Amino acid sequence: MAAFYIDYDNKEVVNNEWVEGDLNYAMRIADIGASYTRRNIVIRNPDGIQVAIRVWHENPCETVDDEIINFGSLGFYDEWRIKLFDENYIKITKARILARFIKESFGKSKPTSDKPKYNSVSDSADDVLLKIPRSKLLS
């Protein structure tokens, strides 16, 4: 069973808590514990990575919605925003980092025979990483 840390960001009364269960359960517990702090409510995994957030808005809420925690004219918390980190997100992020490295490392240099040849469409991020000269990786 997963554990989640609920951070209410309340400076006066410390009521942050660890919750055992899935993310939906942690969000329901956070909703029950929500109070007028004028700060976002954040849920983190055991590694401290933010997985969900309810953003605080200072202006009155104009709509009626069960997903919103409304404090009338004082402001409201909008719907939960969930950050999903699946395998595809990790692969895409890794490829973007490698592409940026290659562009910065080789983009301005003249073509040479030791410049790695890669096809950004067909090569995976790992394939591209293997083609980067070791001297470039260590510098």
Over its length of 139 residues, how does the chain's per-residue pLDDT go in tens digits?
689 999 988 765 567 889 999 889 999 999 999 988 889 999 998 888 888 999 999 988 887 777 889 998 999 999 999 886 655 555 666 667 777 777 777 765 444 555 555 444 445 555 555 555 555 544 4
pTM higher than 0.85 for the full model? Answer: no
| CA pair distance 15, 35, nearest whole angstrom | 10
If 0-12 CB within 10 Å is exposed, 13-18 middle and 19+ buried, where does residue 34 land?
A: middle
Do 27 and 52 contact (CB within 8 A), yes or no? yes
Long-range contacts of 41-46 (CB under 8 A, 24+ apart): 41/6, 41/7, 41/8, 41/9, 41/77, 42/6, 42/7, 42/9, 43/4, 43/5, 43/6, 43/7, 44/4, 44/5, 44/7, 45/2, 45/3, 45/4, 45/5, 46/2, 46/3, 46/4, 46/5
